């Protein structure tokens, strides 16, 4: 299901002396099934933007279309919009409260009065998609690791069968093992379900690993919009947005500057490792 922003502007405290425009005349289309990375420094407007995608915020000007329909045109349909566009906020484990993992994921379906058999199937599918087996069903969410708790929270949104899933800093605060695990599950989940995923992250490495397209926000506007290579090849433009290219790219550029015959079009640690290994083996021949 496509999402389109048409000339969207949002001003906090509009009409007062405290008015501040957070996003300014933003137009954007996200196609069904895309994996989009959204990046920007603090205050760039990315958090305000994602809250427009499921009508948590209503534009001061402009429209947000979901599948071609204005999501704010009929307020009675907002619940349906939020089921189709699932939003997982940063540190979602802080919002967990049920006594078991199964009941936590079931909570939204219970509110919707989903029939038992359908609800059970959705819960099992959602937990499977985030890599949690039946062994977890009766565990308290609060007995789990931080990464596992976060996956429970994501499963609770997935159980609603969204067409679009927005993840706001899903690896924040996790150790490297937890971060790698949740990223691999996000990749698996997207491939399994075929849904649109919008990943908000400060980690250039995480974005480079997963995203097909990157959108860079700066001062409430879209500064860059393109493939991973198109965006990360513009180091000077990123610097103007108070961002940097991935550390792996910086390393490859330094090696090239020191005489290595090596590609600098590298954006992840694994790709850098493989490129360096290939270069070393080539020199040994």
Domain range annotation of the chain: 3-245, 246-285
Dist. CA 229–CA 280, nearest whole Å: 24
Per-residue model confidence (pLDDT) at position 284: 60
Distances (CA, A) of 127 to 84, 86, 102, 111, 136: 18, 16, 9, 19, 9
The values of phi and psi at residue 202, to 5°, are: -90, -10
Q: Could you please state the CATH topology (level 3) that the domain comprising 3-245 is classified under.
A: Rossmann fold (3.40.50)
CA distance 37 to 166: 10
205 Cβ neighbours under 8 A, 6+ residues apart: 246, 247, 248, 267, 268, 269
Beta bridge partners of 121: none
Tens of pLDDT along the chain (285 residues) come to: 799 999 999 999 988 999 999 999 999 999 999 999 999 999 999 999 999 999 999 999 999 999 999 999 998 999 899 999 999 998 988 889 999 999 999 999 999 899 999 999 999 999 999 999 999 999 999 999 999 999 999 999 999 999 999 999 999 888 888 888 999 999 999 999 999 999 999 889 899 989 999 999 999 999 999 999 999 989 899 999 999 989 888 998 899 999 898 888 888 888 899 999 988 877 665
Distance separating alpha carbons of residues 93 and 155, to the nearest angstrom = 11
Instruction: Provide the 3-class DSSP secondary structure of residue 144.
Output: coil
SS3 139: coil
pTM, 2 dp: 0.92
What is the structure's pLDDT at 201?
92
The pLDDT value recorded for residue 263 is 87
Beta-bridge partners for 213: 36
Rounded Cα distance, 123 and 256, in Å = 50
H or E segment to which residue 283 belongs: helix 269-284
Residue with tokens 């009675």: 76
* Tokens 């389109």 belong to residue: 4
- pLDDT given at position 285: 55
C-alpha span between 276 and 283 (Å, rounded)? 11
Residue partners of 22: CB distance under 8 A and separation at least 6: 10, 11, 12, 45, 48, 220
Output the six-digit token pair for 218. 């700066």
Listing DSSP states for 43-101 in one string gives TSSHHHHHHHTTTSS--SEEEEEETTEETTS-GGGHHHHHHHEEEE-SSGGGG---SSH
d(CA 122, CA 115): 11
Checking DSSP bridges between strand 61-66 and strand 196-200, what pairing results, if any? Answer: unpaired
């Amino acid at each position: 299901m496509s999402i389109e922003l048409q000339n969207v502007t949002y001003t906090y405290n509009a009409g007062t002396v405290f008015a501040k425009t957070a996003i300014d005349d933003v137009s954007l289309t996200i196609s069904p099934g895309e994996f989009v990375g959204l990046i920007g420094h603090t205050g760039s407007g990315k958090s305000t933007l994602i809250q427009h995608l499921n009508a948590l915020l209503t534009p001061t000007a402009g429209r947000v279309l979901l599948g071609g329909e204005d999501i704010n045109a009929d307020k009675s349909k907002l619940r349906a919009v939020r089921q189709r566009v699932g939003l997982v906020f940063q540190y979602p484990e802080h919002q967990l409260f049920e006594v078991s993992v199964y009941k936590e994921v079931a909570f939204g379906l219970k509110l919707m009065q989903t029939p038992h058999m359908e609800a059970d199937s959705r819960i099992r599918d959602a937990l499977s998609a985030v890599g949690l087996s039946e062994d977890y069903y009766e565990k308290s969410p609060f007995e789990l690791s931080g990464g596992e708790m976060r996956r429970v929270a994501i499963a609770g949104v997935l159980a609603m069968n969204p067409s679009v899933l927005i993840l706001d800093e899903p690896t924040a605060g996790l150790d490297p093992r937890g971060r790698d695990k949740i990223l691999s599950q996000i990749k698996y989940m997207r491939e399994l379900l075929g849904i649109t995923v919008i990943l908000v992250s400060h980690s250039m490495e995480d974005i480079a690993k997963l995203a097909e397209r990157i959108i860079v926000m700066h001062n409430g506007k879209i500064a860059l919009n393109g493939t991973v290579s198109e965006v990360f090849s513009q180091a000077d433009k990123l610097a103007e947005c108070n961002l940097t290219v991935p550390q792996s790219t910086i390393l490859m550029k330094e090696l090239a500057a020191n005489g290595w015959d090596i590609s600098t079009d590298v954006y992840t640690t694994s790709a850098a490792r493989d490129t360096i290994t290939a270069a070393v083996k080539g020199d040994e021949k």
